[in-house]
Each structure stands twice: as C-alpha cells, then as structure tokens.
Amino acid sequence: MLLCCQWSIAQSQLLPDSGFKIGAGIAGYTQEKATAPSIMMAFNKDFFPNTQIEINVNWITPVDVSNEEETRDLQSFLFGMNLLFKVLEDRKQAFNAGLGFTAGFYDTDWTILATEEQGNTTEFVPGFSAIVEYDFILPSYWFFGLRASISRFDADKTSWFLGGTLGYRF
C-alpha cells in the first residue's frame, strides 16, 4: 500500500495541472433557514489523469437569526479535502464533480429573549461534502466559472454554497 501511495504521488508531480481559485457567493444553513455572503478559496492538484485533489476553505459571514424565543449571531469556517473527477475537459471548458471530507467550525452567540440569558457556543464537527463546478478556460492560464457545493455534518447541520469563481492554472 505504501508503494502504491508513493507511485501516485510521483505520478502527480508529472501532471501539469494545478490551480488556485477564489470565489464569492451565497451560502446557507439549513438548520437555521438562513443565507449569507460567503468567500471560498481552493487549491487543486492533478492526482491521476481525470482526477484532482482539492483543499478548500469557506468562510460564511455572520448571520443574525431571530425568532420569538431567541436571537443568534452565527458564523462558520468550513475546511475540506475533496476528490474531483473531470467529467468534461477540453481547451475551453471543464466540468468537475466530486466528493470529500469536510469539517465545520461554528461559532454562535445567542440570547434567550424571555430570560435575557446570553452565551456562546463553539462547535467543530466533521462531515461529508459534494461539489459540482463548471469552469470556462481563457486562452491564458486564467479561468472563471460557477461552483455549487453541499456539506452535511449530522442530522441537524447542513450548509451549502453557490457562487462564482476566478482561478489560475500553473
């Protein structure tokens, strides 16, 4: 197994495509039924032909959630490692889809309205993610595209991202 891992790492060094991308869009929390602006950064490296490994980070800006019982100020960071498969790729476009592991860091300031009790809850939860992205490749090494992802942590926590990306291949 160690020999197989070493061979795949050596092969990935020979493949030319690596990329860095940034993105902005809308993210949502299904538990709170709230959406907020989000920023995404990712680094991709070809692993095998038609396969990429991606490391990404999402930051979802603070969200104010209020109801009759409480108010919450919530923000999160999502860290992920994904395996993307190149479904379609030519000189002008690329379509990738993949699965991966993700971890979410949730920071919540809350106030119970009836008692005026306040507190802070910090959680770090592991989960799984799915990604679909389309990139339009410019004649230079730059590309731009659309990205959609969903991260599922447990029965209560799911977040999604939909936005545009700008990237550079090297």
pLDDT given at position 118: 92
In angstroms, the CA 156 to CA 33 distance is 11
We report the CATH number of the domain holding residue 97 as 2.40.160.20
- Read off the pLDDT of residues 117-152 as tens digits, 9 standing for 90 and up: 999 999 999 999 999 999 999 988 899 999 999 999
pTM of the model: 0.83
Total residues belonging to the chain:
170
Q: 37-51: string of b/e by CB count within 10 Å (b at 16+)?
A: ebbbebebebbeeeb
Q: Residue 119's domain spans which residues?
A: 2-169
If one compares 10 and 69, the residue with the highest pLDDT of the two is 69
For 88, the token pair is: 């379609």
pLDDT at 1 over 80: no
Residues facing 89 on adjacent strands: 94
Using the structure block, give the residue that is written with the tokens 């447990």.
154
Domains in the chain, number: 1
pLDDT (mean) for 55-76: 87
